[in-house]
Each structure stands twice: as structure tokens, then as C-alpha cells.
Structure 1
Amino acid sequence: MTCVWVVLTGYLIGSLSGAILVSRWWSGRDIRTLGDANAGTANVARHLGIKPAAFVAIVDIAKGSLAILVARASLAPEVCTVFAGVAAVLGHRFPLYFRFRGGRGLATTLGVLLALTPRQTLMALPLYGMIYLGSGGSGILATLLGFPVLMLLIYWDGYDPWIIAAPMILALTTAVCSLPEILARWRQTRNARRLLYELLHPRITPLPKPTTVVLTDSVASLPPDLCQREGIHILPLALILPQGVARDGLDVDTRDYYQRLRSDGLLPKTSAPAPGEFLQAIRQAVGSDQTALILTPPAELTQCFFSASLAAQMAAEEGLQARVVDTRLAGPAQGLLALAAARMAASGASAEQIIDTLPALIPRIGIIGVLDTLNFIAHSGRVNVITPLLESALRLYPVLSLYQGHIRLESVERTRRRAIERMVDWMQKHLSGKIVALICFHADALEEGETLYQRLVELLQPHEHYFTELTPVIGAHAGPGVLGAAWWQEDE
């Protein structure tokens, strides 16, 4: 019974996720909605800063050590003590208090080892750290090379066989826990070399430069860290405001902008990038042996396709290659197509091969959303399906989807809550296949957006998921308060 008790206690202690608790306290956000969605120190450092990351590291190391101290205070056998540490790592990876979505467990593993064999772990730690930093952050390489040294040090000091084997047992635990994530990434890339590179991060063997570079515009509303990681280049549209022209997503205070849309009667205009801006983006993005693949929203909605096409002709005169595709998508759905194209490019596909694939891919990507007001979309004049609604004296909440370049009215509700429910019901009914990626979005509706995001992730179980705010250009046409989601379905 003592063994069962200490293992269960270790799991409950491990379930106290430092990353989730600190991120909520520090910023009011769940770290699992940011970056790679990992509830760990590195993700907190990238998105919230070094100080909160330091708190997370302390908490996660401490709980691993605490699980061991509790086991030893209970006079548990060494085998039970080791598995109390394993349980703490499992609790970190699958936390009971946070719907079993946690982090990878490196810091908790370190805490367990520090409590089991403090002197030997501190001796091996510099080697582990040098390998980790020298490999560009590869916990796998550091474990493969550092843990055998640690086990040898423990063996020389005559510890119990279970304590000697503890580093290997903990490493196997984290490896098995990581298998679902690795399999999901394999389904995304289908490229063994890319997957191996992402897992190991060796600086001495960089990936070859892709022959295709993907460009799209700011309408895609992709999270910046995702664009940076996947190599997607974003060209901002122009937002025409009373004080002058601003670049979408770069020169605008989003909070102030949406507040003005709500209270000041501001009705801004927007403009697609000029051909010269597309040409400059092509020059900066591609080399002589590369092709720029430019993905634009539907030509019926913006001038991006025509500007980009003219820029491609101008680039050809300079010896640069560019291809332009009207995606028939907009917003984060357009962003998901850019994501798919960027991953094909990273795996070595040429621009022509990617373009040949797009007709089969585009129908598997879609977007749906709820508008909070009809004023802005009526002012834009781009959506004819809502024209009959404008004559109503009632406040109505339309549910709109975009398919093959055409905006469709899926439902009209009298209350916002009912419209959101109808949208969720629509997604459950129509998205029968597995979801490769889901992007939940909002426009100045953060709390509602986060609630919807968590709900859709639980309902649809996408392989990967992101949360983003629509850029001000989309807000100019759809208005504040928009809620919705874009998806990319697997090929059945």
C-alpha cells in the first residue's frame, strides 16, 4: 500500500503544472494556446518572457524533487521511490487538474534526479547543458549522450540498481509520452528528414534551402511565430485611416483601433498592396534558384491577385520567378493553405508540384464565423448575401462561411449566443473527417474567443490548433466582435 500511495501522490504533485498556473497568473492566458502549445519553460520564455519562465522552471523542478522526498519520508522501497518520480513526470505530461494536456517533462525529470542522486546529477548537468545548447535545444541528443554518463557516475558510487536505472526509466517515460506528438508531426510533414531535423535541431546539418518560398498577405491573420517557424512571408495590406495610411498588423494599435470602430463610428477603407510592393517582397524573399509562390484571397474580394500577377510579370523581366494562385479562400483559411504550401516547399516540392496539389487541397479547407454587427460588411459592399438582412428592424447575427470564393449565409439568429451555438453545431455536422489543423479567431472578443477555442479543440480533436486575432483590415470589413474558426481536413 505504501508503494501505491507514494506513486499516486507523485502523480498528483506532478499534475500541478507550473507553466499553466504561472502563465494564467502572469498574463491571464493559457500557455497551451500559444506557440507550440507545450506547457513548459521554453514556451513560456518565448511568449511571456524570462521572468515567468524562471518561475515555471522552479515549480516544475521542485515538484519532481518533492515527489521523491515524500516517497523517502514514507520509507518506501527504492523501486517505489523511482516510480514515484516517474508518476510525477506522467502527471506533468498528463495533468489531472488541466484536462490531461501538459508539457514534455524535462524540468520535472531534472527535479526527480536531483532528489534521487543530487551530487551525481550536478556533476553530469554541465555536460547535459552543453549538449543541449550546442545542438540548438535538443533534449533528445542531450539525454542520449548525457544520461549514460549520469548512470555511470551513480553506478560507481554503489547505489541500488533501481536508482542506477532511474535515468533510463525516466528517459523512456518521456519518450513514450512524446510518441503521440511525434506521430502527429509525421502526419503533418510526411518527410522523415524534416521530422528528424525538428526533433534533433543539429546546427551542423541544416535543412537545404527550399526551391519554393511561400508569400501571402496579412488577410491570412496567421500567428507571427507560426509564420516564422514555417517560413511564410507576409505582405501587409493598407488600412486607410483619417490620420493616414497604416500597414495592416504593423502600424496600428489593435485595441485602440477596435475601440474606435465600436464607439467613434470609424469606417476605414482598405487597399491591396501595389504591384511594386509585391515585387519588392519577391526580391527580398527569393534567390535566383528559387520561385515565389504567392497565395491571394479571391479576386472578387480584393485586388491582391491582380497586383501580384502584375508583379510576377515584372519579376520575370528581372530574372526572378514568381507564381500567383487565387486560393478562393480568405482569412485564416487562406493562412492554412499557406501553411500547407510552406510545408510542401520545406519537404522539397517545387512550385509546380505544389500548384498541382492545391485543387485537391483547397476543398478540404474552410472557414465559418459569426458577425456581431452588419454595419461594416454592408459598408464594404462585398457581401450580397446579407443585403436582405439590412432591411430588418431587428438586430440579427448572421453565420457566414466561405467556400470556393463565395460567401454563404448559413444561418441568421436573434441572439449572439444562439448564433455561436449554431456555428458550433454546423461544424460538428459538416466536419466529419479528422482535422489536420484548426485556427480559432476573434476580433476584439478575447474572452469569448478563448472559450470557443477550448471548446472546439475538445469537440474536434485537431492534430494541431492555434488561436489568433483577425488583422485590422478584416476588422474594417467584418467589424469588431467577430468569432469563428478555419479548418484543414485530412484527405479521406
Structure 2
Amino acid sequence: MTCVWVILAGYLIGSLSAAIPISRWWSGRDIRTLGDANAGTANVARHLGIKPAALVAIVDIAKGGIAILVARALSAPEACMVLAGMAAMLGHRFPLYFRFRGGRGLATTLGALLALVPRQMLMALPLYGMIYLGSGGSGILATLLAFPVLMLLIYWDGYDAWIVAAPLILAFTTAVCSLPEVLARWQKTRDARRLLFDLLHPRVTAVPKVTTVVITDSVASLPPELCQREGIHLLPMALILPQGVVQDGMGIDTREYYQRLRSDGLLPKTSAPAPGEYLQAIRRLVAPDQVALILTPPAELTQCFFSANLAAQMAAEEGLQARVVDTRLAGPAQGLLALAVARLAAGGASAEQIIEALPALIPRIGIVGVLDTLSFIAHSGRVNAINSLLGSALRLHPVLSLHQGHIRLEGVERTRRKAVERMVEWLQKHLGGKITALICFHADAPEEGQALYQRLVELLQPREHYLTELTPVIGAHAGPGVLGAAWWLSDE
């Protein structure tokens, strides 16, 4: 029974990931979105720098060592100590507390071996370190060459067979856990020599300085965790209700709000952020050597563009830099452009370089949706494309798209089911090529939104995919029951 407890303890200790919280604290981003998406010391070093990587390494090595020390303190057999170290490595690889997405476990493996056979490990570590540094950070090559030497040192000192085999057991477990990642890379390259070279000699790149701060508004309807992970700052629009003005998505019960739209005939108004709100955001987020890039919906649809421009002028008087871009997009499509821009910024692109890239990027992003009612969009007066439908006595369900600032009527059906089918057919017809990211969205229709999301992910096979609910401000114009999708096409 002691063996079971030490293995469980090892796994729970290993699940205490250091890379994820440290990367969020250090840069505001999840390390699993950078580089090779590995929540480990090497990836942190390559993309965030040596200092946070050193903190991660200390914790990761300590986890493996603590697992062994706990087993030893409980007088567990040597085999159980080795299994406890393996469990710590598995916990690091599949952390219970972080949705089972962790790192490869090499640092945790080294920590376990350091606690298990400290003298022999200290003798082998210089060799491991020289190979690791000489190969540009290849833990695989260092393990392949240094661990056999470590096993010989352990064997010569007369240790039990389990202890002698410990480096092999831990290395083999790490390799098996890495197979899905290796297979995924093989699917991309189909080049055995290139794959082997990449594994044995990783490319180390300098950490680019982020000089562009991405700001957009709540109309983007991006999931909060995605904004936090990618460094996208959302400025809330205002929702004008009978009881007063509230910020979009804040201080309001979304379910109750949509219920009132359906049953009480509520027709709320909306307002763009004031210039002062944009200015406050620029002051809060932008350093003197940075530039705020503010992304707005089309100027024909909101006052965001004009408010942001005025704020940029006021910021310039204070020595702060801001550029404003009319994205010609709205809703989650605007959010996908913000995502693309944030990733360019994270890669070191300047605001000017990003703006130069937009004419090629914006046409690859679009949005389409089905309305459940015409009353809200008719009340907003913002969409001329549906004017021909407003006099009909029938309850119609239009399929609308927004592409490069133009709202188009792509079709109309008498039933919601047929309208959704028409939208899906339209997506299959018009979205040729690979899809970098897809966002499915709904307004107070979670079950239908989930069904559409699962269907489109299966049909379109996007690299990234998200499901989100439109904010109350968009609901004020499009009405409850909206279903749709936004896409970002690859340039490949």
C-alpha cells in the first residue's frame, strides 16, 4: 500500500506546473501558446528569457527530487522510489491542475535522479550539460549520450537493478509520452531527416521585444482566456438600458437580458467607448517605446473609429503613440483580426509592419450568421441589405455575411433549420483552403451553438477553433438566437 501512496504523491507533486503560472506572471501569456507549446524550461528560455526559465527549472527539478525524498521518507522499496519519480514526470507531462497539458519532463527526470543517486548524477551532469548546450538545447541528444554513462556509474557502485535501470525507465517513459508530438510533427513535414535534425538540434531564437500593444473593443466577443493568453486588450462598449448605462458584458445577467429582449420588447441602445476611455487605456497599457494599435469595427457601423482617433491625437500630445485601424470587420471576425495582429506583435513586428500586412490579412477574415428575428437589426437601421425583407408578413431568417466592411444578404429561409443549413453550405462552398482559426458564436442559443461548433470543426478542420457567445451589445443589434461563424484563412 505504501507503494501506491508514494506513486500518487509523486504524480500530484509533478502536476504542480511552474512554467504556466510563471509565464503568465512574467509576460501575461500562457507558455503553451508559444514556440512548441511545451510548458517546460527550454520553451520558457527560448521565448521569455533566462530569468523566468531559471525559476521554472528550479521548481521542475525540485518536483522530481521531492517525489523521491517522500518515497524514501516512507521507507518505500527501491522499485517504488523509481516509480514515484516516474509518476512525478507523468504529472509534469499531464498535470492534473492544468487540464493535462504540461511539459516533456526532462528537468523533473533529472531532479528525480539527482535525489535517487546524487553522487553519480553529479558526475554525469557536466557531460549532460555540455551536450545540451553544444546541441543548441537538445534534451533528447543529451539523454541519449549521457544516461548510458550514468547507468554505468550506478552499476559500478553496486546498486540494485531497479536503481541501475532508473535512467532508462524514466527516459523511456518520457519518449513514449512524446510520441504523439513527434507524430504530429511528422504529419507536417513528412521528412525524416528534417524531423530528426529538429529533434536533435532545436532552433533557438532570440526573444523578440513586443513593441505593439493590441487594443480592440468588446464587440470582438473573444473568450476571456484567449485574450489573456494572446495579450489582447478589450475596451467595453456601453449598453443603454432603462435602468441606466452598463458596460458590455459587465454588471448584467446575460440570460436575463436576452429573456427581456425576447419577451418584453426591450430595444436597448448602444454607445462606443468615449475618447477619454480610449485615452485611459493607452495611458495604462502603453510604454513610451511602444505603440498602441487600436482595431475598430467599420466606421459606418459604430463611432469607435472616430473616438479612437481623437484619443490617439490626445495621446500624442502626452508623448504616447497610438495608431487606429478601421478593420472593416465586426464581431468575432474583428476578434480574429485582433488575434492575428497580436501574434504578429508577439513575433516582434512593429506597428508599421503590422499595418503594412493588413491589406493582405483582412480579406482572409470574414463572418457569416443567421438571424432569428429581423426586428432588432431593423431597429438599428445599420443594415440596408435586409430592407427588402422588412415588409414581409412572414417570419424570415436571413443569412448575412460581413466581408471587408460590406454586409451582404447571402440567402433567406422561412425556417431557422433551413437557414442554418444554408449557412453551412455557404461556408463549405466559400471557404477554400486551410483555416487557421474558426470561431463559432451564438446569442442565447448555447445548445445550438455547441452543435454548430462540433459540426463545423468536423467539416472544415480548422487548426484552431473556439466557441463564444456574442456580447449584449451585439445582441442589441442582431437580437437573441443568432448563430454563425467567423474564420481566418491561412495564406498557405
Q: TM-score, normalised by structure 2?
A: 0.68
Aligned partners of 2:89 and 2:108 also within 8 Å: no
- One-letter amino acid of the counterpart of residue 145, structure 1: L
Instruction: Tell me by how many angstroms 1:182 deviates.
Output: 6.8
- The corresponding residue for 1:145 is 110
Instruction: Tell me by how many angstroms 1:252 deviates.
Output: 1.6
- One-letter amino acid of the counterpart of residue 322, structure 1: A
Alignment of 1:173-322 (within 5 A): 173-179=176-182, 209-322=209-322
**Among 108, 120, 132, which residue is 2:82 paired with?**
120
Aligned partners of 1:143 and 1:171 also within 8 Å: no
SS in structure 2 opposite 1:301? coil
- The corresponding residue for 1:10 is none
Instruction: Tell me by how many angstroms 1:432 deviates.
Output: 1.1
Partner Cα distance (1:433, 1:427) in 2? 12
CA distance 1:160–1:292, change in 2 (3 Å): closer
CA distance 1:287–1:255, change in 2 (3 Å): same
Aligned partners of 2:208 and 2:347 also within 8 Å: no
Partner Cα distance (2:85, 2:279) in 1? 56
Alignment of 1:45-444 (within 5 A): 117-122=79-84, 138-143=103-108, 145-146=110-111, 156-159=159-162, 165-179=168-182, 209-444=209-444
CA distance 1:173–1:217, change in 2 (3 Å): same
Instruction: Tell me by how many angstroms 1:414 deviates.
Output: 1.0
CA distance 1:147–1:436, change in 2 (3 Å): farther
Partner Cα distance (1:230, 1:185) in 2? 24
Aligned residues: 365
- One-letter amino acid of the counterpart of residue 414, structure 2: R
SS in structure 2 opposite 1:288? coil
Q: TM-score, normalised by structure 1?
A: 0.68
- One-letter amino acid of the counterpart of residue 172, structure 1: A
Partner Cα distance (2:291, 2:187) in 1? 29
Aligned partners of 1:237 and 1:273 also within 8 Å: yes
Aligned partners of 2:367 and 2:484 also within 8 Å: yes
Aligned partners of 2:82 and 2:163 also within 8 Å: no
The Cα RMSD (Å) is 3.5
Runs (5+) with no aligned partner, structure 2:
1-31, 34-38, 40-75, 96-100, 117-146, 190-198
- One-letter amino acid of the counterpart of residue 359, structure 1: P
Instruction: Tell me by how many angstroms 1:147 deviates.
Output: 6.7
Aligned partners of 2:435 and 2:489 also within 8 Å: yes
Partner Cα distance (2:484, 2:429) in 1? 16
Partner Cα distance (1:388, 1:127) in 2? 64
CA distance 1:132–1:491, change in 2 (3 Å): closer
Structure showing greater radius of gyration is 2
Deviation by residue 1:379-433 (Cα, 9 ceiling, x = unmatched): 0000011111111111111000001101000010111111111111111111111
- The corresponding residue for 1:105 is none
Aligned partners of 1:129 and 1:142 also within 8 Å: no
Instruction: Tell me by how many angstroms 1:175 deviates.
Output: 1.6
Partner Cα distance (1:262, 1:172) in 2? 56
- The corresponding residue for 1:191 is none
Partner Cα distance (2:485, 2:356) in 1? 26
Partner Cα distance (2:420, 2:396) in 1? 12
Partner Cα distance (2:182, 2:443) in 1? 36
Partner Cα distance (1:412, 1:172) in 2? 54
Deviation by residue 1:220-253 (Cα, 9 ceiling, x = unmatched): 0000000001000100000000010000012221
Aligned partners of 2:92 and 2:108 also within 8 Å: no
Aligned partners of 1:147 and 1:167 also within 8 Å: no
